[in-house]
């Protein structure tokens, strides 16, 4: 892919996603440009994961269209890397960090009995270096901290050298120090790839991303990473703390449950 800065790399137009009779996303339109760092926030069940999975072609859309560098979801080859919300990996399983990252080299055409090549191993080790845990390549995953485990998952997503990286709550279960390290890493990665980050960490994300998209079934807001009270009310239906551009503001009153 040779997209120029400012060129649209993800084009989401009037997208609706239904699970049976339930509409998870309704008429969402959103463009992401080359080199952008987009934060996607919203309440539980707001459709954030559904949006990422529909970009990946893992969830069929019921209406509208999605284009990734002119390609349909699921037909993008190595273009898009994904760090899922719930990695389906048993942490007690006897497997090394490198072996997990190597699975990022598996594509549909290489499944199911692919023998990893030297190039595969070199790519996995380079990805581990990139996320700062190269020295842990031979360690069993049961011996990783929460932050190291998350970085291993980022390395797995980087193993095919994607140009667009989708992450679903990569900081959900880590401590403050690891969270900062992951945000620093994403800032570095953003120098060479477009990033779409789903998070509930509104405080941190608004000071890091270029733009925010707020989802609550529909797209409530898309724009600069400062939010006003009306937007937050529309999004969450209750007061929350915000940070805008690193400056803390207690922008809203006490949560309704406290009254
Ligand atoms: N496979 C599915 N079948 C039926 N309903 C689903 C399915 N996946 C998601 N949903 C529903 O769609 C809605 C949106 O879910 P989604 O996981 O996209 O939200 P989210 O914003 O990522 O939530 P969270 O912040 O809790 O992770 C939810 O009401 C969820 O129950």
pLDDT in tens, 186-244: 999 999 999 999 998 877 787 889 999 999 999 988 888 877 777 777 777 654 444 33
Q: Across all residues in the chain, what is the average pLDDT?
A: 85
Confidence of residue 77 (pLDDT cuts 50, 70, 90): confident
Q: Is 44 in the pocket of ligand 1 (CB under 6 A)?
A: yes
**CA dihedral over 234, 238, 239, 242, signed as positive or negative:** negative
Whole-angstrom Cα distance, residue 185 to residue 252?
31
| Cα within 13 Å of Cα(154), Cβ side | 29
CATH architecture, range 1-79+163-252: 3-Layer(aba) Sandwich (3.40)
- What are the pLDDT digits (tens) for 87-126? 777 788 889 999 999 999 886 556 666 788 888 999 999 9
For residue 76 and ligand 1, the question of a CB distance below 6 A is answered with no
In this predicted model, which residue has the larger pLDDT, 137 or 111? 137
- Which atom of ligand 1 is closest in space to residue 85's alpha carbon? 27
Does the beta carbon of 53 lie inside 6 Å of ligand 1?
A: no
State the distance from the centre of ligand 1 to the C-alpha of 38, rounded, in angstroms. 20
Maximal C-alpha separation, the chain: 62
pLDDT digits (tens, 9 = 90+) for 28-64: 999 999 999 999 998 889 999 999 999 999 999 999 9
Asked if the model's pLDDT at residue 12 lies above 90, the reply is: yes
Phi, psi of 114 (to 5 degrees): -70, 135
Q: What SS3 class is residue 234? A: helix
Does 54 sit in the ligand 1 pocket, CB within 6 Å? Answer: no
Q: CB of 178 closer than 6 A to ligand 1?
A: no
pLDDT for res 2 = 58
Instruction: Answer whether 45 contacts ligand 1 (Cβ < 6 A).
Output: yes
Task: For residue 50, report the distance from its CA to the centre of ligand 1, in Å.
Answer: 6
Segment of 4-13, 46-55, 165-174 carrying the highest mean pLDDT: 46-55
19 lines ligand 1 (CB under 6 A): yes
Q: What is the pLDDT of residue 110?
A: 61
Structure ipTM: 0.98
Is residue 256 over pLDDT 60? no
**Domain coordinates in residue numbering, the chain:** 1-79+163-252, 88-161
Please say if the pLDDT value at position 175 is more than 50.
Answer: yes
In short, whether 47's Cβ falls inside 6 Å of ligand 1 is: yes
Sign of CA dihedral 257, 224, 166, 249: negative
Residue 81 pLDDT class (50, 70, 90 cuts)? very high
- Distance (Å) from CA 23 to ligand 1 centroid: 10
* Choice from 26, 49, 51, 85 to test ligand 1 binding pocket (greatest atom count within 8 A of CB): 49
Contact present, 16 and 24 (Cβ < 8 Å): no
């Amino acid at each position: 892919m040779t997209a120029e800065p400012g060129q649209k790399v993800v084009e989401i137009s009037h997208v609706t996603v239904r699970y049976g009779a339930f509409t998870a996303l309704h008429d969402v339109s959103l463009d992401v440009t080359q080199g952008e760092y987009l934060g996607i926030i919203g309440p539980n069940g707001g459709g954030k994961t559904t949006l990422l999975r529909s970009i990946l072609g893992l969830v069929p859309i019921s209406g509208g269209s999605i284009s990734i560098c002119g390609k349909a979801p699921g037909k993008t080859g190595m273009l898009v890397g994904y760090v899922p919300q719930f990695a389906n990996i048993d942490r007690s399983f006897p497997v090394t960090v490198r072996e997990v990252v190597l699975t990022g080299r598996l594509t549909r055409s290489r499944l199911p009995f692919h023998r990893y090549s030297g190039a595969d191993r070199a790519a996995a080790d380079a990805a581990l270096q990139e996320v700062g845990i190269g020295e842990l390549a031979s360690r069993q995953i049961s011996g990783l901290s929460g932050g190291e485990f998350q970085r291993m998952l980022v390395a797995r997503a980087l193993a095919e050298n994607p140009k667009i990286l989708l992450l679903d709550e990569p900081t959900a279960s880590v401590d403050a120090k690891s969270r900062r390290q992951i945000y620093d890493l994403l800032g570095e990665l953003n120098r060479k790839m477009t990033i779409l980050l789903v998070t509930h960490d509104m405080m941190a994300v608004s000071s890091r991303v270029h733009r925010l998209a707020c989802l609550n079934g529909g797209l409530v807001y898309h724009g600069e990473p400062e939010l006003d009270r009306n937007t937050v009310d529309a999004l969450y239906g209750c007061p929350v703390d915000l940070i805008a551009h690193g400056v803390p503001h207690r922008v809203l009153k006490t949560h309704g449950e406290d009254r």
